[in-house]
Amino acid sequence: MEKKKVLILAHDFPPYVSVGGMRPYGWFKYLNKEKYEVTVITRSWNEKVISALDAIRPSSNKAVISEVLEAGIVYRVPYFPNLRDRIILKFGLNKLVFIRRILSFFIDLFKHSFFFFDSSKEIYKQADKILQEEVFDFIIATGEPFILFKYAHLLSKKHQVKWIGDYRDGWTTNQRKAALSITEKVLLKNYRVKELKYVRSASLITTAAQDYKVELQKFIQNKEIKVILNGFITDKNELLENKSSIKKFEISYLGTLYGHQNVGLFLQGVEAFLIESKLSTDEFQINFIGMDFYREQKERVLNSSNFVVPYLNFTEKIPFNELPQIIKNTSLLLLLSKKDMNWLNAKIFDYLLFNRRVLFIGNDYGILEKLLIESENTSIYADEVSAIHSELNKVYEEFKQKSFLANENNSAKVFQYSRENQTKYLEEYLDLL
């Protein structure tokens, strides 16, 4: 049987660690090599991306780099920051803010119409070059950035190749602000026109959660939409052990903090717990892993409770293969949501793999709760300061007796959420096109 060739357009991709990068990496790694030849075109990331400024620095290489790997071929194209980002790199985040806002508006308004305003255009150029030299069966564009949908739309039309639009998150359907500024309204209207134009030519739409599909289906009608969950990479081949002797009681939160997540409520509960327990910083710690990358989010945490600040530990972004070493000392993994939000936080899959109890603040009574129940995670739910205080007292008493907090997880149920298993759904959908 002749193999089909898949071209994946992905802005984020390892070595850059992000949810957006691990999604296409999972497909690259796990698509059946007996059926598919996979090529990825991505931005060339410098080895260390530990701050927001690192993410906009120019690539160290100024030409395309190709890598022939066991899973397929990766082309890494150079990145050249636009004028706004060059200003940030030269003067810092606190200067020329008004000028940068003006530049941001015009860049966002015109980048879908003119390549001049588009700092990701090298991905399109390389894809066009490859498609002139080779015949591919499918193009998969995974957003964000959703400028990749434009590339796939144009390339599909030019080279007669079917394309699949993958929404890791929604694009215009992600807009939840009740009141928009004039510039936000202009951009939203412009994006909605572009979004519909692009996806109408797609052979298939995929997304990362059922609730995203529901919102997309309202906006994109008469187009099939399939769900492929994010999941986790299973290189470790087993759940993280949870029986080491630990002296410090630690709670860890991984990655990004969003506006609807009430971290202040959690920290108020922690404050009440600490006042009563009188634990020292040698006995208790809260880790916000990767949050040094997000300056505004870190400030939000620091401003939530002065009392708890000495117990807080912030880290830079951590490569996924280094996380187990950090998480092994964690007693509880913190999950934050909001009632009726029904929003799929991608970190939940890594939480399940790490095999720790989850302290769930602000139960969504939706997809997150469902995943915890189905995977048989012995989660702790609390929605009020008094409940957080009470639950921390209980688990700390158990911790003092056992020096670890066991989670009797069902590994078979957890591993259905691996990226390897989720990639099988992508294969199934490609087979039907």
Cα-Cα-Cα-Cα dihedral sign, residues 347, 352, 357, 358: positive
Please report the pLDDT score of residue 245 as a whole number: 57
Those residues whose C-beta lies under 8 Å from the C-beta of residue 426, and which sit 6 or more positions away, are 27, 31, 206, 228
Q: What is the pLDDT of residues 161-209, one digit of tens each?
A: 999 999 998 899 876 666 788 998 999 999 999 999 999 999 999 999 8
* 131: Cβ contacts below 8 Å, ≥ 6 apart: 7, 155, 158, 159, 161
Sequence-distant (≥ 6) Cβ neighbours of residue 169 within 8 angstroms: 143, 144, 208, 212
pTM (2 decimals)?
A: 0.84
Mean pLDDT in residue range 131-146 = 95
Q: Are 26 and 138 in contact (CB under 8 A)?
A: no
Query: Strand locations in 144-195, DSSP E?
Result: 162-167
pLDDT of residue 237: 46
Domain ranges of the chain: 4-98+112-231+418-432, 249-416
Q: Let me know if the fold of 4-98+112-231+418-432 is the same as that of 249-416.
A: yes
Work out the mean pLDDT of the chain and round it to a whole number.
88
| Contact present, 66 and 75 (Cβ < 8 Å) | yes
Q: Using one digit for the tens of pLDDT, what is the confidence trace for 297-346?
A: 889 989 888 899 999 999 887 777 777 777 777 888 999 988 877 677 77
State the Cα–Cα distance between residues 139 and 148, nearest whole angstrom. 11
Q: Among 13-17, 88-92, 158-162, which stretch is predicted with the lowest mean pLDDT? A: 13-17
CATH of 4-98+112-231+418-432, one of 3.20.20.70, 3.40.50.2000, 3.40.50.920, 3.40.50.1110: 3.40.50.2000
Looking at residue 286, its pLDDT comes to 94
More confident residue, 316 or 136: 136
Q: How far is Cα 195 from Cα 187, in angstroms, rounded to an integer?
A: 12
**What's the CATH architecture for 249-416?**
3-Layer(aba) Sandwich (3.40)
What is the token pair recorded at 162? 């079917």
